[in-house]
Structure 1
Amino acid sequence: MSGRLLLVCRLLVRDLRRRRTETVLLLVAITAATATLTLGLTLNEVADRPYQQTRTATAGPDVIVTPRATGQAALDELASLATAAGVTDHSGPFPIAYLTMTTGGVSAHAVVEGRETTPVSVDRPAVTDGTWVRPGGVVVERAFADALGIRVNDTVDLDGHPLRVVGTAVTAARTTYPYAGWHYPGSILVERGGLVWVDRSDIATLAGGQPLSYTLNLKLADPAASTAYPVSDQLTTWQAIDDLNGRLYSDAQMTLLVGSWLLSGLALAGVAGIVAGRIIGHRRRVGLLKAVGAGPAMIAVVHFAEYLVIGLTAAATGLAGGWFAAPVLIRPSAGLIGSVNAQPPALRTVVAVTVLALTIAVVATLVPVVRVATTSTVHALADAATPPQRRRWRIRLSRRLPTALLIGVRINARRQRRARLVTMNTLITTTALVAVLMVNTQVEHFDLGYTELANPRRERMEQALLVVVLVVCVLALVNAVVSTWTTVLDARQPLAVARTLGATPAQAAVGLAVAQLLPAVPGVVAGIPAGIGLLAFVSRAEVEYPPVPWLLATAFGVLLAIAAFTAIPAMVATRRPVVDALRSAPA
């Protein structure tokens, strides 16, 4: 037993060292899927850390109460809450007015809160630039200021009253822009807006004839007990604020998770193609192992051990890559302080990523490994091409075609499984590209009452989409080159026979390119409705379709890229002398 284990380990190390390029490609293919899945699963876990840091730095409240009533009725309603059971501290009530802020010709909803110049024990907004409120000045929540391009010493207008911006700040007592909770007094319908603070003595003048609302911040003996409070439009817990802030990343998380599914499919196609090429190069070694007594099970173990090691390495690499990439790719809201600091992935993430990597490695290699394990010893020692699957109707159809097209059709007829991998590759690539077109076509009306500003939620989703599409395109192109090279290895003897019978190297090269383009066409055709359907499935808004010329340009672009990237290995292969290829053919 120890001798067999030693043999497996020695063969494994030898293969990894001798076939470094293929090993790296296998690692890249599986790592692309595992890293994207890691990012998707850890996005929410790391996204809420800046809020926790902000909550600690600003003495954030556990419960925020804002009655629907206004004026004295609201104050009477809040009077008893400050001394309720379980409440250890409080601040407020603070007056609030729901006004309109205008700057640089842009108007937006603004939740205006009146505060004292002296700090309080609960909810002390952290000033990030400038100073805290003073009479005649306004402090703008930092994310709101960034969206409107406001800087310290600018002048803004609050319902006809010009005020100078004296600072920017962040708080944990309200959700960051654009979900600060603007609404008409007494209404339960909340609209988008931002938060600003003014001196308490100024708010009555700014509100004019509008009745003032009030808000009270409570600190509990047990912060976790805030979940026992009834959820309503008048009461907000810190957990609810944390959840709303996290929703800024929900579309990005969905994009990364869907992207990991697409990349898993590409990884399966790529790994299967690479494994097929490696096993073709191992035929003679398989024959030698069988000649000295190794059985099919031993042959399978030798091959599976190599790919399982690569799968585990790719899982570890993907986890590390996603872990380090998260702080770079996940940009916290400007309304929070702190950073997305990298912490070790959760156990469920480690398990999910490892299972994905091993699944890709096993599923992609199962058929080729079983096939080579059951190959006869004589056939393996001869290193002959696997007998083709002949179909008479294909032969009759192809024999009247031009030479290059005939070669391509018959190569695909010999290896239908490999052709299906090409179809899968182009299907997934086209699906991703069409989904991007769909996203760019969507017209989003994201207003703050009187103007349209950038949606931070969409910005994060587009950032995640860009990452996914770049990885998909790179992996798809690698798969196309690998698929062509694998076809070259398997078809080297039939191509040599074709050249002996009169086919030119150029015709052989074009035939190899055609062999990749023919199965790519149905993948591209199916990828267009698949991309449209994918976005319609994950989108929460009404779907708008891109122009037909854009879809056609995408389809032809994918086919053109495949043709270009498969022509290079095809031309290299056809330069090999015919005699060298025929030497390994059986007599």
Structure 2
Amino acid sequence: MGSLVLVVRLVLADVRRYPSQVAMLLFAVTTATATLALGLSLGGSSRTLYEQTRAATAGPDVVALSGDTGPAVTSALAELADAPEVVAHHGPYRIVYASLTTRDATASPVVVHGFAEKSGALNRPLVTSGQWVRSGGTVLERGFATALGAGVGDRVTIAGRSYPVVGIAVTAATSVYPWAAQIGPGGGPADYTGLAWMTRSDARSLASSHDLPVTTAMDLKLRDPAATEAFTDAHPGSDVRITFHSWQRKAEQDAVILRGTQPILVLGSWLLSFLAVTGVAALAAGRAVQQTRRAGLLKAVGATPGLIAAVLLTEYLAVALLADVLGLVIARLTVPGIASPTASRIGDVGGPTGPVIAATTVLAVAVAVLSALRPTLRALRTTTVAALADTDHRARRRPWLTTLSALLPTPFLLGLRLTARRPGRVVLQACSTATTLIALTGLLSLPVQPSRGYGLNGSTVLPNLRAENSGHLLIAVAALLIAQLLPCLPGAVIGVPLGIGVFSALSPRNAILAPVSWMLLAALATLLVTVPLTALPAHLAARRPVVPVLCADTA
């Protein structure tokens, strides 16, 4: 029998004999690698989606905006269009600042762009549903329409007048919802705002009949799209105040909505990895006697230390690598929805890249090696005779400790003695609980954070997409951590202050911690979970007859 065949057969026998431990390792490493792959894949995903949307909609390189109106503004924008660096332009066109209300009384600020009924060569919004603008109708930007729950055929009220929604479209000329305003009516910052399009005549009529603020804008395509900064520096404007928004700035603004997402996923993957190591290492330590005896048997038949190490480590490595593949598949299927929570962009961010695959593979191998390293080294260092004899280690007797322990109740005494004989396992359990409490502290602090929704006062407020996306991911990571819970009191005590420290370090200065009572309840809940997790296996083990237990084969 070849060495490879021997290793495979022994590994398969172990998998069949300990399916629960294999399942735990598979689940732990899969969640850790999937979370890490998601976190690393989000870097640059916003820019990727923006560039694909920009290519599909003939997005401008620079948008020039002025909060003023009149001949002076028109003349200044015309000078920009005639600049030698400019190869094409669109506009000038009106941007009207108004309010939009749906049938269910949801109200939101909106900017209305006045466009031609026939799209030009530059800034050509892509209609994803319905048709392009026509007289008396409006087209909604897709991210805005999704937040409103509006579709083609619905009616919306803009500045007191009802319009049918004739289409849904995407564009790269503005940032993702809710940052469509670009500048305010006076050239300053604007509130969270959605985007709608109308015909030029409808936009002009809307502004004049309701005396609404208007911004004049022009889209520019440069000879060198990368030279936007040099272009804006060379055209500061004279008597007319002009604000420039480059395509690079819009791509950077798009990434703001994911600013809290990537740290949650990356830190969550670290916590999940640590929990995987502690949990699986505890199980591996419980199998140390069986592994030592198996190593003795292999030594007795002439196996080399390398072959023995391969047998003991291959099981963990094989399961970890399988989990790595599953984690990457989950990340590939999940990342599109996480990378584009607003529906304002089109395209595909693609699967995990080479560096991401390498990082998750290193993580999976590290979890497997760290989990099995100590039992493997112990088995290799044990002599053949000692491994086959499989005798228990004689406990040291200390008279003063015996006298003190005699005062304790019998169940507590036995539990304390078992704890003292397995200090490594106690440390692993404490680390597991501390890791879980770190996530729970952040999770409990989430509901008390001040979250400003999108909308107008006195109306139904649209959810804050950035806060909502981060909150959902934090809940998911915390749930995955709790699913692997191995709690104990020291970990609960340590986990709460560590959780406070981690939350404070990664949160803005105005972040609010959850009440202390909530954190204490979370720590208590984790300890209460220990009761069924430990009492039930102990109860089942206690029901087994004594003779079969003492005569059990540990091979």
Relative to the length of structure 1, the TM-score reads: 0.83
Which residue in 2 is equivalent to 1:38?
37
For residue 414 of structure 1, report the CA deviation from its aligned partner.
Answer: 0.2
Distance in 1 separating the partners of 2:57 and 2:410: 76
- Contact 1:382-1:584 within 8 A present in 2 as well: no
Show CA shifts across 1:188-229 (max 9, x none): 334321112222123344334566422222234454444655
Distance in 2 separating the partners of 1:229 and 1:578: 86
Which residue in 2 is equivalent to 1:79?
78
- Contact 1:59-1:121 within 8 A present in 2 as well: yes
- Contact 1:55-1:171 within 8 A present in 2 as well: yes
- Alignment counterpart, residue 312 of structure 2, candidates 303, 316, 319: 303
Q: Where does the alignment leave 5 or more consecutive residues of structure 2 unmatched?
A: 237-241
- Alignment counterpart, residue 353 of structure 2, candidates 339, 346, 354: 346
Show CA shifts across 1:349-368 (max 9, x none): 01111111122222222222
Which residue in 2 is equivalent to 1:214?
216
- Alignment counterpart, residue 291 of structure 2, candidates 278, 282, 305: 282
Show CA shifts across 1:539-576 (max 9, x none): 22522233344323322221121211222221222222
Structure 1's 585 and 157: CA in aligned 2 closer, same or farther, altered over 3 A? Answer: closer
SS at match of 1:109: strand
Would you say how many aligned residue pairs link Structure 1 and Structure 2? 542
Structure 1's 186 and 371: CA in aligned 2 closer, same or farther, altered over 3 A? Answer: same
Of 185-194 and 327-336, the range deviating more from structure 2: 327-336
For residue 31 of structure 1, report the CA deviation from its aligned partner.
Answer: 1.8
Structure 1's 243 and 528: CA in aligned 2 closer, same or farther, altered over 3 A? Answer: same
Which residue in 2 is equivalent to 1:195?
195
Structure 1's 116 and 251: CA in aligned 2 closer, same or farther, altered over 3 A? Answer: same
Distance in 1 separating the partners of 2:448 and 2:198: 41
Structure 1's 197 and 407: CA in aligned 2 closer, same or farther, altered over 3 A? Answer: same
Distance in 1 separating the partners of 2:172 and 2:143: 13
- Contact 1:44-1:249 within 8 A present in 2 as well: no
Identity %: 41
Distance in 2 separating the partners of 1:557 and 1:525: 13
For residue 316 of structure 1, report the CA deviation from its aligned partner.
Answer: 2.4
Structure 1's 378 and 547: CA in aligned 2 closer, same or farther, altered over 3 A? Answer: same
Distance in 2 separating the partners of 1:11 and 1:153: 65
SS at match of 2:50: helix
Show CA shifts across 1:322-354 (max 9, x none): 22333465554232345x46x342111011111
- Matches for 1:419-430 after TM superposition, within 5 Å: 419-430=426-437
| Partner AA of 1:91 in structure 2 | H
- Alignment counterpart, residue 474 of structure 1, candidates 483, 486, 498: 483
Distance in 2 separating the partners of 1:357 and 1:468: 18
- Contact 1:146-1:334 within 8 A present in 2 as well: yes
Which residue in 2 is equivalent to 1:552?
520
For residue 97 of structure 1, report the CA deviation from its aligned partner.
Answer: 2.6
SS at match of 1:380: helix
When you count helix as a share of all residues, which structure comes out higher? 1
- Contact 2:85-2:231 within 8 A present in 1 as well: no
Which residue in 2 is equivalent to 1:172?
172
- Contact 2:33-2:360 within 8 A present in 1 as well: yes
| Partner AA of 1:123 in structure 2 | N
For residue 437 of structure 1, report the CA deviation from its aligned partner.
Answer: 1.0
Structure 1's 155 and 4: CA in aligned 2 closer, same or farther, altered over 3 A? Answer: closer
For residue 420 of structure 1, report the CA deviation from its aligned partner.
Answer: 0.6
Structure 1's 357 and 388: CA in aligned 2 closer, same or farther, altered over 3 A? Answer: farther
Distance in 2 separating the partners of 1:102 and 1:541: 35
SS at match of 2:483: helix
Which residue in 2 is equivalent to 1:269?
278
For residue 461 of structure 1, report the CA deviation from its aligned partner.
Answer: 1.3
Which residue in 1 is equivalent to 2:510?
542
Which residue in 1 is equivalent to 2:474?
465
For residue 387 of structure 1, report the CA deviation from its aligned partner.
Answer: 4.5
Distance in 1 separating the partners of 2:410 and 2:383: 33
For residue 69 of structure 1, report the CA deviation from its aligned partner.
Answer: 4.7
SS at match of 1:179: coil
- Contact 2:291-2:312 within 8 A present in 1 as well: no
SS at match of 1:66: strand
Which residue in 2 is equivalent to 1:146?
146
- Matches for 1:47-58 after TM superposition, within 5 Å: 47-58=46-57
For residue 87 of structure 1, report the CA deviation from its aligned partner.
Answer: 3.1
Distance in 2 separating the partners of 1:395 and 1:301: 43
SS at match of 2:89: strand
Relative to the length of structure 2, the TM-score reads: 0.87
Distance in 2 separating the partners of 1:218 and 1:279: 70
- Contact 2:433-2:491 within 8 A present in 1 as well: yes
Distance in 1 separating the partners of 2:333 and 2:395: 47
- Contact 1:398-1:410 within 8 A present in 2 as well: no
| Partner AA of 2:78 in structure 1 | A
Of 428-437 and 393-402, the range deviating more from structure 2: 393-402
Which residue in 2 is equivalent to 1:320?
329
- Contact 1:67-1:77 within 8 A present in 2 as well: no
Which residue in 2 is equivalent to 1:60?
59
- CA RMSD of the aligned region, Å? 3.1
Structure 1's 134 and 465: CA in aligned 2 closer, same or farther, altered over 3 A? Answer: same
Distance in 1 separating the partners of 2:124 and 2:398: 79
Q: Where does the alignment leave 5 or more consecutive residues of structure 1 unmatched?
A: 481-516
SS at match of 1:475: coil
- Contact 2:433-2:492 within 8 A present in 1 as well: yes
Distance in 2 separating the partners of 1:391 and 1:218: 85
Q: 1:432 and 2:439 equivalent?
A: yes
For residue 443 of structure 1, report the CA deviation from its aligned partner.
Answer: 2.6
Which residue in 2 is equivalent to 1:403?
410
Structure 1's 461 and 154: CA in aligned 2 closer, same or farther, altered over 3 A? Answer: same
SS at match of 1:114: strand
Structure 1's 13 and 149: CA in aligned 2 closer, same or farther, altered over 3 A? Answer: closer
Structure 1's 554 and 577: CA in aligned 2 closer, same or farther, altered over 3 A? Answer: same
Structure 1's 163 and 322: CA in aligned 2 closer, same or farther, altered over 3 A? Answer: closer
Which residue in 2 is equivalent to 1:567?
535
- Contact 2:39-2:262 within 8 A present in 1 as well: yes
Of 416-425 and 320-329, the range deviating more from structure 2: 320-329
Structure 1's 98 and 80: CA in aligned 2 closer, same or farther, altered over 3 A? Answer: same
SS at match of 1:440: coil
| Partner AA of 1:216 in structure 2 | M
Distance in 1 separating the partners of 2:445 and 2:399: 43
| Partner AA of 1:114 in structure 2 | G
Of 525-534 and 434-443, the range deviating more from structure 2: 525-534
| Partner AA of 2:99 in structure 1 | T
Which residue in 1 is equivalent to 2:365?
358
Which residue in 1 is equivalent to 2:239?
none
Structure 1's 407 and 296: CA in aligned 2 closer, same or farther, altered over 3 A? Answer: farther
Which residue in 1 is equivalent to 2:386?
379
Distance in 2 separating the partners of 1:441 and 1:329: 23
For residue 105 of structure 1, report the CA deviation from its aligned partner.
Answer: 4.3
Distance in 1 separating the partners of 2:183 and 2:228: 24
For residue 157 of structure 1, report the CA deviation from its aligned partner.
Answer: 4.4
For residue 291 of structure 1, report the CA deviation from its aligned partner.
Answer: 3.2
| Partner AA of 1:234 in structure 2 | T
- Contact 1:74-1:213 within 8 A present in 2 as well: no
Structure 1's 390 and 28: CA in aligned 2 closer, same or farther, altered over 3 A? Answer: farther
Of 466-475 and 180-189, the range deviating more from structure 2: 180-189
